[in-house]
Amino acid sequence: MSEPQDTSCLDSLIEENRLALHQLQTLLGKLTPAVYRYAFGPTRRQSLGKHVRHILDHYDALLAGAGVGSIDYENRRRDERLETEPSLAVARLVEIGTVLSCLEAHQSATLKVRYPVEGASGCLSLTTSLARELAFLTSHTVHHMALLGMMAESLGVDLPVNFGVHPSTLRFWRRDATAPQAAGSFARSSKPRLVLSD
């Protein structure tokens, strides 16, 4: 039988995720639908909305799986409306933040994650915990937020210095007065603005 997870640890992980989702919600509040849907890259397959939808899908998978003891990140909802309608994405971010606040340490102390391996028949079933998956989601979300930040800034959206920066890096910046952020070298430069109409 597994030991219950430390409540303060779980609370900290939940708060890290909620802070990242709140930053994302703030970004979406600055975007027009046209900017949210704008297609980037030579193949025009990337958009801010697609990255946001991908982030939301992972939280949905965790929350659905935590209740039954098995998480499947591969079998995601992929609701295309979340890629094109920022107001729907904001509403979902708010819902997820609320549900995360209600998670408890005793919930599914031991979980399984389905992990498909290319060329293998079926999936691996990996043992994990709610805390471990929340730590994964922090890193996953912040990684995509860093990409979102670059994309949004290329369109002239102003972002705070800490947008898309992992909590471990933020802790380092606070500890180390010689860190680039503390020295001011992360100040945002002025960029030409691309204005997209709806």
User: What confidence tens digit (pLDDT) does each residue in 11-21 have?
Assistant: 999 999 999 99
End-to-end CA distance of the chain: 55
Could you give the CA distance from residue 125 to residue 196 in angstroms, rounded to a whole number?
45
Q: How much is the average pLDDT of 144-152?
A: 94
Could you give the CA distance from residue 93 to residue 91 in angstroms, rounded to a whole number?
5
Asked whether the whole model's pTM tops 0.75, one would answer yes
Q: Burial-class residue 187 by CB neighbours within 10 Å (0-12, 13-18, 19+).
A: exposed
Highest mean pLDDT pick, 74-88, 125-139, 162-176: 125-139
Has residue 193 got a pLDDT over 50?
no
Angle at alpha carbon of residue 52, lines to 31 and 105, rounded to 5°: 125
Q: What is the pLDDT at residue 187? A: 40
Please indicate whether residue 72 or residue 76 has the higher confidence score (pLDDT): 72
**What amino acid is encoded at 153 in this protein?**
E
* Structural tokens at position 129: 């915990």
To the nearest whole percent, how much of the chain has pLDDT over 90? 52
Q: How much is the average pLDDT of 151-166?
A: 89
Has residue 164 got a pLDDT over 70?
yes
Q: How much is the average pLDDT of 129-140?
A: 95
Kindly list the structural domains of the chain, giving each domain's residue range(s) and its CATH number in brackets, ordered by start. Answer: 7-183 (1.20.120.450)
Q: For the chain, give the mean pLDDT.
A: 84
